[in-house]
Amino acid sequence: MKIAFFGDVVGKPGRQAVLDHLPGLKARLRLDFAIVNAENSAGGFGLTSAIAEEFFNAGADCLTLGDHAWDQREALTYIEREPRLLRPINYPPAANAPGKGAHLYSLPDGRRVGVIQAQGNVFMKQTLACPFDAVDAALDSMPLGAVADAIVVDMHCEATSEKMAMGHHCDGRASLVVGSHTHVPTADTMILESGTAYQTDAGMCGDYDSVIGMQKQISLYRFQTQLPGERYQPALGEGTLCGTYVETDDRTGLAIRVEPIRMGGRLSEIVPG
């Protein structure tokens, strides 16, 4: 199976990068399934139903969220009727959070792809339930190679150590563990010891002439003065599409190939051949 995960979409440049490049990439790479982390799509904060529908129409099969899941209030109700939208799986039970954090999707040919999103706790503003326990339960519900033909885990968190720990925790039980949230693509795409593909962060889809997707001067002012300053606004230059590509063994669901994807904007282009 051929699967791609695209990192956090930031504002209009990120949306445009997805809309411009995803349809062609699906055909060029013959993707069976495409996942997009869309939690910063609406002006840098959250996701609207209209934007989600644009992504689905462009070829996204699943959208994931993160710590900005509810920045747009309509997401609280939209997620209840849209199974292709996932929020972090590890909200505590008392939160009674709408939607789901994991789902098993069926392809037209009968193969099944599981997608799980978890949110880390290290250096994050929210403290959710243990992501490792929540991911364990989800993996147990859709065993790789038995129930699911492929499984992707989106680990949305700040600390690279927590992302790496999740990769090793899932090794042999997921096809791909990929990080989101930090908006910078890392150079560590690899297949772990027991066959799970891994990348610490897929990188954002957005304008890289920025500070992690936001206008430079606003961020610089805050760092230099320690004052709140203006509300963050997405940078508006040409966006780069960043993601992770994985090929799996249909027999086991484990990875046989993993590579980064970068197209457009300021970063050097990488497209799997």
Residues carrying an active site annotation: 68
Check the annotation: does 71 bind a ligand.
no
Q: By three-state DSSP, how is residue 30 classified?
A: coil
Q: Which residue has the tokens 């209840």?
A: 80
Q: Which residues of 33-68 are buried (b: 16+ CB within 10 A; e: fewer)?
A: bbbbbbbbbbbbbbbbbebbebbbebbbbbbbbbbb
Q: What's the burial of 223, exposed, middle or buried (CB within 10 Å: 0-12/13-18/19+)?
A: exposed
Q: By three-state DSSP, how is residue 8 classified?
A: coil
> What are the start-end ranges of the H helices in 33-95?
49-58, 75-81
- Alpha carbon distance 115, 59 (integer Å): 16
Q: For residues 243 and 206, is the Cβ–Cβ distance under 8 A?
A: no
- And the tokens for 132? 């490792």
- Alpha carbon distance 264, 273 (integer Å): 17
Q: By three-state DSSP, how is residue 23 classified?
A: helix
Q: For residues 178 and 130, is the Cβ–Cβ distance under 8 A?
A: no
Check the annotation: does 168 bind a ligand.
no
Check the annotation: does 8 bind a ligand.
yes
Beta bridge partners of 36: 6, 63
| Residue numbers belonging to the annotated binding site | 8, 39-40, 67, 156, 181, 183
| Residue numbers belonging to the annotated binding site for Fe cation | 8, 39-40, 67, 156, 181, 183
